[in-house]
Amino acid sequence: MSNFEPPPPPPPAVPSRRGGCATAVMVLFGIILLLPGLCALLFGGASVIDGGKIDSDIAPLVLLGLVVGIGGIALIWAAIKGRKA
Predicted local confidence at residue 1, as pLDDT: 54
Residues 6+ apart with CB under 8 A from 36: 64, 65, 68, 69
Residue 83: is its pLDDT beyond 60? no
Predicted local confidence at residue 47, as pLDDT: 82
Least confident of 32-36, 55-59, 61-65, 75-79: 55-59
With bands split at pLDDT 50, 70 and 90, how would you rate the model's confidence at 59? confident
Residue 82: is its pLDDT beyond 80? no
CA dihedral 18, 21, 24, 25 (to 10 degrees): -100
Closest CA to 44 of 29, 26, 33, 56: 56
Domain spans of the chain?
Answer: 34-84
CB atoms within 10 A of CB 72: 21
pTM greater than the 0.75 cutoff? no
SS3 state of residue 3:
coil
pLDDT cut 90: percent of the chain above it: 38
